[in-house]
Amino acid sequence: MPKDFIVDLVEGIKKKKSHVCVGLDPDFERIPGHIKEMAINEYGPNRRAIGEAILNFNREILEAVKDSVAVVKLQIAWFEEYGHWGLKALEETISFAHHKKLLTILDIKRGDIGSTASAYARGYLGEVNFWYGVKKKLFNADAVTLNPYLGGDSIEPFLKIMKENRRGAFVLVKTSNQGSKDFQDLQLKNGKLFYEHVAEKVNEWGGDLVAEAIPYSQLGAVTGATFPGAAEKLRKLMPKSYLLVPGYGAQGAGPEDVVSFFNEDGLGALVNASRSIIFAYEKEKYPDQHQWAARQAVEQMRTDINDALKKAGRLAWD
């Protein structure tokens, strides 16, 4: 019987001794030239060649980082912008990640209600109706990101599919962008900030999704490393939620900034970095070898975070 997403995640983190999540944001303009040349030589200057180049780049990055991380996050926008061939590359990237024993978080930030939310949930996390009563998994992601702006009834259809398929989700609570203050930092009549209220709702929604094997819920939260001052407050409001922490690397946050997002057990947070890993080959300190550079960058990030946690007395292993 398959395990819950959160159980697989924690087991993978402990096995790899890594709290790093590599974000796949395959910006076509930044993919190494030789990969694009191979695709255009085979398919010509069309969208299929772009999709194939994206897929091949992702495969090479996954091959490079598979021993250093338990999970990767795919940002759907970089695939959607190229239509059918981009989404085909997304499906095949998820499949390849699973082949390499990596969990996948599909960053979709969906937020809708009723039958529309149910369709999103089935398509990304569950099974869709096919011909003659057959059901099939399509995108088959292990977890997704969700926007709670429409309220609890926009989250409930995902919770249902998550329970049925043992999948996970991360709700946007305090995001890493500076503009998040426009809404998320608004003060409510009771004195709480809006993001604090959302955090309380995430804790409530995920209450019956806590795995028996570990004290963490299938429903986590997105909390940006660029606002470390909010970390301790968020940890107390969501003690059993795993936090997906973007903002490391290219957005300016470092290892010391993420320590407070972890619980005392040294778990509870997954730190995402995208551009600083997958395009590390562009940096002066790395040669023009994208796989080698990605591997070096992710191993350095893993070491830096573990060192910071050890210094703070929160390392989850010896």
Q: Give the tens place of pLDDT for each residue, 304-317.
A: 999 999 999 999 99
In a domain, 81, yes or no: yes
Identify the domain containing residue 129 by its residue range. Answer: 5-309
The yes-or-no verdict on residue 245 having pLDDT over 80 is: yes
**At 249, is the pLDDT very low, low, confident or very high (cuts 50, 70, 90)?**
confident
**At 287, is the pLDDT very low, low, confident or very high (cuts 50, 70, 90)?**
low
In a domain, 268, yes or no: yes
In a domain, 207, yes or no: yes
Distance CA 22, CA 74 (A): 9
Query: Mean pLDDT in the chain?
Result: 95
The mean per-residue pLDDT over the stretch 281-300 comes to: 87
From the number of C-beta atoms within 10 Å of its C-beta (0-12, 13-18, 19+), residue 42 rates as exposed
CA–CA distance from 266 to each of 211, 263, 306, 307 (Å)? 18, 6, 10, 12
Instruction: Give yes or no for a contact between 21 and 272, defined as CB atoms under 8 angstroms apart.
Output: yes
Distance CA 113, CA 227 (A): 30
In a domain, 259, yes or no: yes
Give the number of domains in the chain. 1
What digits encode the pLDDT tens for the residues 263-285?
A: 999 999 999 999 999 999 998 66
Residue 28 structure tokens: 């076509």
Q: Which residue of the set 109, 174, 201, 240 is catalytic?
A: 109
189 assigned to active site:
no
In a domain, 315, yes or no: no
The mean per-residue pLDDT over the stretch 26-44 comes to: 96
Please give the pLDDT value at position 161.
Answer: 96
The enclosing domain of 163 has a CATH number of 3.20.20.70
- According to DSSP, the residues that pair with 245 across neighbouring strands are 271
- According to DSSP, the residues that pair with 272 across neighbouring strands are 21
What digits encode the pLDDT tens for the residues 80-118?
A: 999 999 999 999 999 999 999 999 999 999 999 999 999
Please give the pLDDT value at position 212.
Answer: 82
The yes-or-no verdict on residue 1 having pLDDT over 50 is: no
**At 253, is the pLDDT very low, low, confident or very high (cuts 50, 70, 90)?**
confident
In a domain, 84, yes or no: yes
Distance CA 2, CA 59 (A): 25
Task: Extract the runs of DSSP E, i.e. beta strands, from 87-197.
Answer: 103-110, 128-129, 135-136, 143-146, 168-174
Residue 228 structure tokens: 């470390």
In a domain, 36, yes or no: yes
Please give the pLDDT value at position 285.
Answer: 65
What digits encode the pLDDT tens for the residues 168-220?
A: 999 999 999 989 999 999 999 999 999 999 999 999 999 999 988 899 999 99
- Residue 170, C-beta contacts closer than 8 angstroms, at least 6 positions apart: 105, 143, 144, 145, 146, 219, 220, 221, 222, 242, 244
In a domain, 120, yes or no: yes
